[in-house]
Structure 1
């Protein structure tokens, strides 16, 4: 005789998953001493040196991997010597990788992990994302989450002291700041200029029906040139009135009250950009951004954007979903975890011609640490989202 189990079927929700995932905490350098693999990048921002300046004298690692960008090579050299010299002094093996190549990043990390795994069953990794691009963050995390090895991961993030435009500049002339964000010229004051390339991330090819309707999840920055090029590559008619349900916008909301204006600034940039795709004379005119096609996610809370992306993917099944991630660095962590759980989504990146270091950021602000004791456990948690569970009664 077969005994049947009785109970209540419950779906494991994204909110339950977020409870099980760790929160970020303020960085304490005394906790950071020994790692098997450290991954970082060389950038021109002051915060590129935050970890080097904050790490304790006892810090040691076996392998250090330094990502180097093709963009702004001359400006990046200002910090390069300090970063490379630090790791040459505190690691046994130091190597470099092209930070703009997902395949090269993945190959190099896997080679290092294979070497370490010859002697260790549990590998401790440390990832400084302070000057890492969304492309680099997603590529590193895809590689680590794809590994069958037992990995632990600590993620370090340093905020800048100031962002551009500064609050006084924006509030004195918001129209000028919005116009700059929409401009496509190469004049010096712009935060970034031009678009050198638009590429799919080979590590996130997605899998969806060719006949599916395109659906874009846009996580914009504070300039529209690169996002505009990505939209054109997906579908030049994507934002037309006949495709009003084909795009969802996720805006970054800073945690600090003093920076909340940046969300309104970002939203105003996108609203002005979308005006050229709408006709206000139409009887059916609707504002370009509504609660149905946009939301805000905290720039320091990776769980918020993780939840948003899972819900968007699940509510747009059968569509060709593309994510264009240009948000905050900690948001990129949430994007990577969402993509692990919903691999049907693809990722598109756009590289600028150049950044303007004088209009990017200044100083080193608060420093944060996110600790995943076991990546295997993180994978288990996010993979369960949406699954049915039987609760005995």
Structure 2
């Protein structure tokens, strides 16, 4: 199991810890020869639900606070992602650059994710990160942009989805089998949350895990128990049926199979996110436990989900805000009247709009 960079982002919380391999996030304690100090993970609180006019810029937060343990003054990086509603014409960037001489940023247009780091290397102080996030702005270059965008602000590199309060991480591992990936996912933790192969219950999750991930790989679906009855077999959704039948089957809740899938070619019993360029982006296909030995159907890794397991409390290392692009939708046209004089135009806002 090749540890992901997300584990490294927390290493400042684990200085002088004798860490268990592949589980550097399990302990949040600093050890000294005299006293053990518990190091509390940071907590982020942000606000800023706003309306946005296309082709302008807008700050993603109206306020933000990062509360942290006094023993830990910084972190490897901060991450802001458009986790819902993302469009390829969207962009996040740091404004007022002169006010942030020690900060560097990088924009990933595939993931819709902005990374904020210390330009000199090393940890970025929480105070600098908080100050920088206040100057991060959103823009969309299209005059016809519409919908809602949700911004996830987090300390760890795992993607955060506000609608589930879960974290998602792609772990690259060329040629790993489904059973090996399942074991690896279940032995990993993230700030104390237990991992499992991802279960995808909504279009929001499918887009974040499929289209906006850094890679594609195994997820927690299988019909190995009963052919044609696809279940989530990992995490808190274990045992939940999400598809009945072959490619022409149906879902009782949510599924996102690629065209012509699942086809059970060569006894394929395990769900995998399709390689980019093969059919519908971010969709699923079925593979055997080992997949192909090369090419588009060779496993490239797996997606771990963190959150929702029994007894776990939600992490507060992430916060979210959103913008809404208001759209005026005219009602049915009234009968035309040709006359002089004044007229009154009445508009009624839908709930939540102004």
**TM surpasses 0.5:** no
Q: Which has the higher strand share?
A: 2
Q: Which has the higher helix share?
A: 1
TM-score (ref. length: structure 1): 0.27
Task: Work out which of the two has the higher radius of gyration on C-alpha atoms and give 1 or 2.
Answer: 2
TM-score (ref. length: structure 2): 0.29
